[in-house]
Amino acid sequence: KHSYVLDGTLLVTEATVDTTGTALARFYYIEPITKDTTFNALARIQKRAEELRNRGQSRTGTKADEMAQKSYPTTTHARTIEFRIMNEVELNALYRSLYQAWTSGKGRTFRIQ
């Protein structure tokens, strides 16, 4: 599990799962960088980006902030399956479940509400 800044405006927390199969699974939570984050120098840029996003969503009826985020071709990877998790608590619970299954050798069912 790790975190990184995407395109200077988003803070991404990501858990990546690699198994013996040919596909890689990425689970991530994205939050905008705001004045409350450690990257407060970008607050004005983030506010403008949010205004533009909201305007686009109202025009198209699409919730872009709930979709998987891509920066083509940089974030396009062969054999990668991506899942966007809508809050960090659920991502952390998923990570703990995956880690427990990996270290114990015993899988279990995990559901996000």
pLDDT digits (tens, 9 = 90+) for 34-68: 766 655 555 666 677 778 877 877 777 777 667 66
Please report whether residue 10 resides in a domain.
yes
Band (pLDDT 50/70/90 cuts) for residue 104 is very high
Please report whether residue 93 resides in a domain.
no
Please report whether residue 71 resides in a domain.
yes
Please report whether residue 91 resides in a domain.
no
Please report whether residue 7 resides in a domain.
yes
Average model confidence (pLDDT) across the chain: 79
Please report whether residue 107 resides in a domain.
no
Domain coverage including residue 82? 2-86
Please report whether residue 105 resides in a domain.
no
Q: How far is CA 75 from the centre of its chain?
A: 12
This prediction's pTM: 0.57
Burial class (CB in 10 A: 0-12, 13-18, 19+), 69: middle
Distances (CA, A) of 68 to 27, 30, 43: 10, 9, 23
